[in-house]
Structures are given as C-alpha cells and as structure tokens.
C-alpha cells in the first residue's frame, strides 16, 4: 500500500473492505451501533463478546451488562448485519483480574471501581491481544470518548456529550493501546443520536435500556457478593467518633463507604455524621462532621501518563482532576514522586475522597485526558 494512500474513516491507509475491525460487543445499543455502522461503511467487521461471569443469576435482570441476554442480543445483531460473531469465555480471567481484587479492596476499607480494572486488564489487554491474533487492523468499542491525533500521536479526549463521557473509566488506556483502539461514538452530541442510528439500521436493541449495575453484582447488593467470596467479611464492629467514643455497632465494614451519611443507625444527634474512615483491622467505622471529610492532598499511585514528555520530567503539572466519576474536574497541582506515583494538591478542598477510587488528570480548559492513577491511603 503506498504511503500516500488516502486514510479511511478509521484513520488507516486502506480501503474499508481491506480493513479488518474487531468490535467489542456487549450486547447493548452502543457497541451494536458501532458494529452496524462499520459494516455499512464496508469494513471487514468481526464481532466479539466476552462471557465474563456465570450469567445465570442475571438472565432476567435488566441493567446488568455481559449477561446471557446480552450475548444473545449481540449475536442477533451480527446475524442481521451479516458479519461473524464470536463469544469468548473469559470467566477465569475476569475473576482473577477484577472480581477478586474488588472483594479484597472492600475488605481493606477502599471503594473500588471494577469497571476501570475490567477495561485495563481484560478488554484492552486480553481482548485487544485476541483482536491482533485475528489479524485486525484495529479494535472498536462503543465507549463515549474520543481519540484524536495530536503532534505526538494519538490522544485521548472527553466525549462531545458531557452527560455520556466515559473518560474517568478509561484513564488507564496506554499509548500503545490507544494506537490500536477506535471509538466511533465519541463525537456524537447525545445518546438520542445513537438510538436513532440503531433504528436506522433496524437493530433489535434500538430501545434496549442502558446497563446500570456492575455486571457481576446484578442485584446491586455488593456486600452479598463480597460475603460469598470472603466468608466472615461482614463481621460486626464499632462505630466511633473522631475522639474514639463508641456511638454504636455496625454490621460489617463492607457495608459502608467514605462520605456515607444514611444508614448509620446512630440517630438522635444534634449534627449529622458522615463516614470519615474505615479501619478493617479493628473493624471500626469512624464518623465525624462533614468538614472532617475535606481533603486537599491526595496520594496517587499506579499512574498511567498520557501527556507529553515523561511524567516525572517536570516537578509539577498544573491540571484539572476528577476524584469521582460523577464530579466535575477541579484545578490541581500534580507533583510526581517517581514515574508512576504522585502527590495531588487540590486548589480547593474536596469531600469524600476515598482510597480505591481513581484520580483522573485533564487538560485545564480543554478536553484532553492526561492520564491518572489510583487513590490510596499513603505511607
């Protein structure tokens, strides 16, 4: 192929018919539209769906991804659009890479984000390797995020629709993975456009509800899953105030998260109390006033850097950060402590910062994701 060959819509110097694209199909409307769109454009599409867990319990559960119904829906879309579709059994990989850590994190008093680990360790690692084994030129997903070419190569940018943006969950995408990945929906203005495309292609999933729950917690009961994986995890303990005074008893540290106010069972006080810290070693839940949740300095590790130059090549990075997926980016200074560890100073204090959550770095005033890392308790 000549070097000056025109680029196709996926940025590759080939005609679509000669470009093989593996589409990661969850069975939902987003990835189904991606597959149908690329097939209509003439690409050599191969659909792949991962069976990630024993989906028997979720067959009748709406709002959980990767369940049995979802595999069926993905297969129907592939049949209707006329491209091959494969289901890969990744249950053991998923359990080892995602579910076990999820349980251990809760037992350690953290609040994990398993969807990020799934993208990092399963979808963008093992599945991406499978796509290469299938001689694919790239892999496409239904995520709402944008891949743009910059002076230094492919960059990750927030979706055009802030309400659908999934950048918080994709910060750990590496530059090498980004070279191979494509996100055809990231530029759409709204989810309504996606559903309109699904209707245009006549897809059976056009009106299918969005997934809400973590796929292996189809009932929404996190504690029950953890107790099953780690018997004894819900041992009771004490609820104490900032001075160590016992205010009551609790039914297991795994039932609480940092910043929680409701469900503490210690009413009758003049001022509301919030969960400030979890101590799994002593099985204590520490509560205090809202101001006790205020945090300005956050230790972050396992950093994936997507910015220009080496992460620790500068003493400071002035960026904006998200410490929870539902919160807007806040101005911050990131001070590297090494190639993959840093201290993040928030210019304005944030409440409810919890170990186990991600701290994602954004270009201030722009849409580019500069990477991020995992919040931990520090040394």
Q: Tokens standing for 215?
A: 């796929």
Alpha carbon distance 301, 80 (integer Å): 45
Alpha carbon distance 247, 240 (integer Å): 5
Residues 6 or more apart whose CB falls under 8 angstroms from that of 136 comprise 20, 21, 22, 46
Residues 6 or more apart whose CB falls under 8 angstroms from that of 86 comprise 46, 47, 48, 49
Closest residue by Cα to residue 139 from 176, 172, 113, 88: 176
Task: Tell me: is residue 28 an annotated ligand-binding position.
Answer: yes
Alpha helix segments (H runs only) across the chain: 29-40, 68-81, 91-94, 100-107, 114-118, 128-133, 175-180, 191-200, 222-229
Q: In what order do the strands lie in the sheet with 284-288?
A: 246-250, 237-240, 284-288, 274-279
Task: Tell me: is residue 27 an annotated ligand-binding position.
Answer: yes
Burial of 176 (0-12, 13-18, 19+ CB in 10 A): exposed
- Provide the sign of the torsion angle of the four alpha carbons 53, 56, 61, 66, taken in this order: positive
The catalytic residues are 118, 215
Task: Tell me: is residue 172 an annotated ligand-binding position.
Answer: no
Task: Tell me: is residue 32 an annotated ligand-binding position.
Answer: no
Give ∠ CA 40-149-346 in degrees, rounded to 5: 120
Task: Tell me: is residue 323 an annotated ligand-binding position.
Answer: no
Task: Tell me: is residue 24 an annotated ligand-binding position.
Answer: yes
Task: Tell me: is residue 82 an annotated ligand-binding position.
Answer: no
Residues 6 or more apart whose CB falls under 8 angstroms from that of 263 comprise 255
Report helix, strand or coil for 32: helix
Task: Tell me: is residue 150 an annotated ligand-binding position.
Answer: no
Q: Which residues are known binding-site members for ATP?
A: 24-31, 50, 142
Q: Which residues are known binding-site members?
A: 24-31, 50, 142
């Amino acid at each position: 192929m000549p070097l000056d060959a025109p680029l196709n819509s996926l940025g590759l110097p080939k005609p679509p018919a000669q470009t093989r694209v593996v589409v990661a199909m969850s069975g939902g409307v987003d990835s189904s539209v991606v597959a149908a769109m690329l097939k209509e454009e003439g690409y050599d599409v191969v659909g792949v769906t991962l069976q990630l867990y024993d989906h028997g319990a979720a067959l009748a559960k709406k709002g959980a991804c990767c369940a049995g119904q979802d595999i069926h829906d993905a297969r129907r879309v592939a049949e209707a659009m006329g491209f091959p579709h494969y289901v890969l059994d990744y249950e053991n990989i998923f359990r080892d890479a995602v579910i076990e850590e999820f349980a251990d994190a809760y037992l350690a008093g953290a609040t994990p984000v398993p969807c990020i680990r799934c993208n990092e360790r399963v979808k963008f690692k093992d599945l991406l390797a499978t796509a290469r084994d299938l001689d694919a030129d790239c892999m496409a997903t239904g995520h709402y995020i944008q891949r743009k070419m910059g002076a230094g190569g492919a960059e990750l940018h927030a979706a055009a629709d802030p309400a659908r943006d999934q950048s918080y969950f994709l910060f750990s995408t590496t530059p090498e993975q980004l070279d191979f990945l494509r996100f055809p929906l990231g530029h759409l203005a709204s989810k309504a456009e996606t559903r309109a495309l699904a209707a245009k292609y006549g897809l059976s999933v056009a009106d299918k509800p969005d997934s809400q729950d973590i796929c292996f917690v189809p009932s929404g009961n996190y504690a029950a899953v953890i107790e099953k994986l780690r018997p004894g995890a819900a041992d009771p303990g004490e609820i104490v105030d900032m001075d160590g005074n016992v205010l009551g008893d609790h039914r297991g540290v795994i039932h609480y998260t940092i910043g929680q106010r409701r469900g503490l069972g210690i009413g009758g006080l003049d001022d509301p109390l919030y969960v400030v810290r979890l101590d799994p070693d002593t099985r204590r839940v520490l509560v205090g006033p809202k101001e006790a949740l205020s945090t300005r300095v956050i230790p972050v590790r396992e950093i994936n850097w997507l910015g220009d130059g080496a992460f620790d090549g500068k003493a400071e990075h002035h960026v904006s950060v998200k410490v929870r997926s539902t919160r807007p980016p806040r101005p911050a200074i990131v001070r590297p402590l090494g190639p993959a560890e840093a201290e993040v100073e928030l210019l304005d204090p944030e409440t409810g910062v919890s170990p186990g959550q991600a701290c994602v770095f954004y270009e201030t005033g722009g849409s580019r994701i500069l990477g991020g890392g995992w919040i931990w308790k520090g040394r």
